[in-house]
Amino acid sequence: DKFNWGVANRGASIRVPHSFVNDGYKGYLEDRRPNSQADPYKIVSRVLKTILEVS
């Protein structure tokens, strides 16, 4: 139940590729949540918060 993210971390909820960081935080993020029953509004909210923390 813990959200986490990481650069090139395949075990994280959101995986940030090296190219995303190297290109000035432009590109794509991988959403690796295992549970398809999750609340999509909460997920999008947390993804946006994570992007703002990184940038």
pLDDT of residue 38: 79
Among candidates 47, 11, 46, which has minimal Cα distance to 28? 47
Q: Domain extents for the chain?
A: 5-54
Q: Which two tokens stand for residue 46?
A: 């947390």
pLDDT tens for each residue of 1-55: 677 888 998 888 888 899 988 998 888 888 876 667 878 888 889 888 888 887 6
pLDDT at 34: 61
pLDDT at site 55:
67
CB burial of 2-40 (b: ≥16 within 10 Å; e: otherwise) equals eeebeeeeeeebbbbeeebeeeeeeeebeeeeeeeeeee
Amino acid identity at 16: V
Q: What global pTM score does this model have?
A: 0.49
